[in-house]
Structures are given as C-alpha cells and as structure tokens.
Amino acid sequence: MHILLQGPHSCTSALFFSTEWQSCETTRNRLRKSRSGILHSNMAELARRTTICEMRRAGNSVSDIIKSTGYAKSTVYRVFAAFDAEGKVQRSRHSPRSDQKRTKTFLAGLKRTLKADPSQSMSKLAQKRRVSIITISRAVKEDLGMKSYVRRVRNLLTTRAKALRAERCPKLLNYLKHKGGPVRVFVDEKKFVVDEVANRQNTRVIAYDPSERPPVMQSKNPASVMVFAAVASDGKVMPPHFIEAGLKINTAEYLKILKDVLMPWIRRNYQPFKVMPVQDSAPAHGAKKVQDFLKENLPLMVPKDIWPSSSPDLNVCDYWLSEGESNVTSHPSVNSLKAAIHRAFRKLDPEDVKRSCSRFRSRISQIIDAKGAHIK
C-alpha cells in the first residue's frame, strides 16, 4: 500500500500513515464482528476521520486519500470540509432519531416491570419488548442507573432473631473490651460431601463449543464426612478433625471433641487462661456441661447468653470451612475427600486468617448499626 505525501518528511510520513491506515482497517474489521456494534462502529468512524485529517495535514489531495484508503468519496469530502472550516475531527452532534426506543414511556414501563419482578434477565426483558438486548442493557444501566447483581444466599432471620442480635451484640462488644484475651480461637463444624461443588455463576470453562463443557456430576445421596475445625486470631490453624460417619453431635460427643482434640491443641500453642474460645449457639455448644467445662478450662470463653443466635456471619471459622479447594473435582471415596481437606487446610495463609479474625469486632459493630439485620 502506497500513500502519496508531500513535504520534506514524505518517506517517514508515508510509513507512518500506511501503518496507521492498516491498523485502522484491522480494527474496523474486528469491530464489525463485535456484539456491541454501535459503540465500536463509532470508534471505527473516529479512526477513519483521524486518518483522513492526518493525511490532509500532510498535504494529500482528496483523490490520493480515496485511492490509498478506499474510503467512500462522500466520507472523505465531508471530513475535508469540516476540517478545513473548523479543524474538527469528531462528528458534530445530531438530533435524536425519530424512531428511538428509549423514550420516557418505554423507561417508565421498564422501571415498573423491574420493580414488580427484579429477577428477570436482560434477554427476557428484550424479548418481551421486542427490542435488542443492547437497548435493554443501556436503558437499565445508563437511563435508570441500575445494575444486574448476583443474588446471595443468607440464613433466615426472623423478626425475633433480628431483635436478639441487636440486643446481644452490644453486650458481646462490651465483653470483648473488658475480658477479651490476646488470642481468640473460633471453632465450628461442617459437613463435606464427595461430589464436586460448582458455583453456577462463577464456575466456567473455556471451550470452542458448548458441547465440550464437562458436566458437574451430582449423586443422589453422596458420601460425606463431618469436620471439626479451629482457627486462631494469630493465624494458626488446627488440623481438621474428622467425626465418625453417622455420629450425631450431641452434648456428650461435643464434650469429647473439646477434651480430646481442641484442648490438647490449645495447650500445645497457648496458655489456656489467655485464650478466648468463640463458638456459635448450636444446641450442643450451649449445653450446661459444655459451658461448665469451658469456664473451668478456658475462663475467657464467651457465654451462650451473650452470643447472638443465628449469626454465622460472625463466626470466622464458618467462612474458612468451605468447599472451594477441597471439592474442585468429585472424589471416588471419603478417604480421597479427607486428603483434599487436609491439603486445603495446609494451604490456608496465616496472614489471611489473621485479617479475617481482626474484623470480628468491626462486624459486631456493623450488626449493631444494621439493627440486627444482615451485613455484607
């Protein structure tokens, strides 16, 4: 491709404009294939106008530019006229289309629909209104100022549960200020299954065709294992303790776990009278025998009448007991699942654990500010 240029730097200019023109053409071809055609079309138009103006500055004539770029004669003449008159590169603002879709009536109706049922997808809204999904997307984001968010799964909070959280959180915060030890140990239990766990929103695969997607296989009654875990505010993580299959966590079994598993680990790492154990209000946790044992061996324990019930968002251990690492793939046996859980616990970064535990008091304050409602 040769471009006729005039002036002392004609060779350098020719190389520059040839490269720029080829880049613009490559961009234009790619943008035509893009889904957001309107936006990309405007970008391609701006690239064409910029190329024409730069070639005009170099002293090329209209015929030279048309021959070199292959642009339409009308486009080149129009840009020439605007550039010679006012030095404009961008297109002048024009009046709205007479057949525009995003009218006040259209937006008002869309707003009413979203208020009645905000769970409708963009494609469904576009189909019902017989417009493109781009029109709906722009109307929602640009005109209504709204966004599409993923729904979150939360524990059920009744009016009584909210009132109880709002009542006990100030007591818990005051207890931490006066009796909080240098180390807090958060404990919890969770059931893991051998099946693969996938997030419908975020678990994706890159492939050439949808048929190449590997399915997430789920069994009707997958084998499982119950795990007792503990994490400390200084970043230490207790190795997972596996509870026998089919064993119900009642008062006697939970007390046995505290005596045989938790207390030996605490004694190996800390001085028990300086440790504050934090647990939720599960029935076995709040049993009198369990409470008496903790008062005797870990005197800084949080009493059950202070802990706000229905508050998994306060127990740091509940966050770390997830299937993110251990259930990336399904497991052929419970032993394979146990090995994966051990690997996941060993991978926990002590600094991440410390940061999570350090937010404990701030999360209590957030619940107080939210009057017992859910927090982020």
Residue 338 and residue 225: Cα distance in Å, rounded?
8
pLDDT at position 292 is: 94
* Domain residue ranges in the chain: 10-86, 104-143, 160-199+222-369
Exposed e or buried b per residue across 167-199, where buried means at least 16 C-beta atoms within 10 angstroms of its C-beta: ebbeebbebbeeebbebbbbbbbbebbbbbbee
CB atoms within 10 A of CB 312: 12
Mean pLDDT, rounded, of the chain: 80
Q: What is the CA radius of gyration of the chain?
A: 33
Query: Which DSSP category does 261 fall into?
Result: I
Higher-scoring residue by pLDDT: 116, 330: 116
Residue 308, CA distances (Å) to 278, 304, 305 in order: 12, 8, 8
Q: Which of 219, 190, 225 is nearest to 330 (CA)?
A: 219
Q: Which of 184, 179, 118, 128 is nearest to 150 (CA)?
A: 118
What digits encode the pLDDT tens for the residues 185-224?
A: 999 888 888 887 766 666 677 778 878 777 777 778 888 8
pLDDT at position 29 is: 56
Above 90 in pLDDT, residue 262? yes
pTM of the model: 0.62
Q: What percent of the chain has pLDDT over 90?
A: 32
pLDDT at position 85 is: 65
Above 90 in pLDDT, residue 234? yes
Task: Classify domain 160-199+222-369 by CATH number.
Answer: 3.30.420.10
- Interval 56-77 mean pLDDT: 82
310: left (phi over 0), alpha (psi -120 to 50) or beta: left
Residue 49, CA distances (Å) to 17, 120, 289 in order: 13, 41, 82
